[in-house]
A = this chain, B = another copy of it.
Amino acid sequence: MLSVNQIWHDVKQIRNTAPLVHNITNYVVMNTTANALLSIGASPVMAHAVEEVEDMTSIAGALVINIGTLSPRWIDAMSLAMKTAKQRGIPIVFDPVGAGATKYRTNTCNNLLSETAPSIIRGNASEIMSLLDANIATRGVDSSHSADSAVDAAKELAKSFNCVVSVSGEVDLITGGDEIVKINNGHPMMPKVTGLGCTATAITGAFAAVNKSLSNAAANAMAVMGICGEIAAEKSNGTGTLQLNMLDAFYNLNEEHISEYLK
């Protein structure tokens, strides 16, 4: 399902149309994900006030919801933004950051998802598994499980919400409930940079804004993440420079890079 042509087509579409991606996300990664979206060619906006999220979501090409530093008022805004997006046919990408680490996170995810089914759920293995099984524990915001161990949970979750599930890990998995697409790109240093999971979610939003096939959008986004991570790692001396070089890689990404690096 992964094709150089299709990935590159999406990237060009993002650059040509600069889709507005409305993010209600966590404090830790806001700068990183805004820069990633700008670097790939999208137009990010962060807005979380209940007073304005309907207006902001309504003009967006995609809505990205990320519960990384949640609190009650923000959850209200997420709920409202998700309903607005659903009514208007705007794709919703949902990242259950830290689901499984506290009951509050797991319950919040379950409540939001039961109100409004998202288009794509994107998380690490522990987070995805914890949405189905309250006994799965996430260690803070880092996964305690390999992506492979989340295959069944991802499929079941995708079927439950009639959505696409995208699981990041050494190998990334994308499923719409039946077949699994695997993505083998990426670099071991990536989990040591904060917010690259959240960046994957934001970038997935940009792809969902330009590609009507949600599973292709999710897969192409993860391929671009992995490829840019590899390109960046080659130029980096550690996790600090990796973060910045990834933005450069998004900005400079061309068809040859995709063709050369896609596994």
A241, A244, A245, A250 interface centre (most CB from chain B within 10 Å): A244
> Hey, what's the 0/1 contact readout for A183-204 against B, CB within 8 Å counting as 1?
0000001011111000000000
> Hey, what's the 0/1 contact readout for A51-66 against B, CB within 8 Å counting as 1?
1100110011000000
Contacts of A156 in B (CB 8 A): none
Is A118 part of the binding interface, using a Cβ–Cβ cutoff of 8 Å? no
Q: Are A47 and B98 in contact (CB under 8 A)?
A: yes
Assuming the A-B contacts A35-B193, A43-B142, A46-B28, are A247 and B240 also in contact, with contact meaning beta carbons closer than 8 angstroms in the complex?
yes
The number of residues on chain A lying at the interface, defined by a beta carbon within 8 Å of a beta carbon of chain B, is: 65
Taking CB atoms and an 8 Å cut-off, the chain A residues in 1-41 that contact chain B are: 18, 20, 22, 26-32, 34-35, 38-39
**A28 closest partner in B (C-beta):** B30
Q: Which of A69-77, A84-92, A210-218 contacts B (4 or more CB under 8 A)?
A: A69-77
Q: Are A104 and B52 in contact (CB under 8 A)?
A: yes
Contacts of A55 in B (CB 8 A): 101-104
**11 residue pairs bridging A and B, Cβ less than 8 Å apart:** A18-B142, A20-B139, A28-B31, A28-B46, A30-B69, A39-B240, A45-B101, A56-B101, A56-B140, A240-B247, A244-B244
Closest 6 CB pairs of A and B: A240-B247, A238-B248, A45-B140, A240-B244, A52-B104, A55-B102
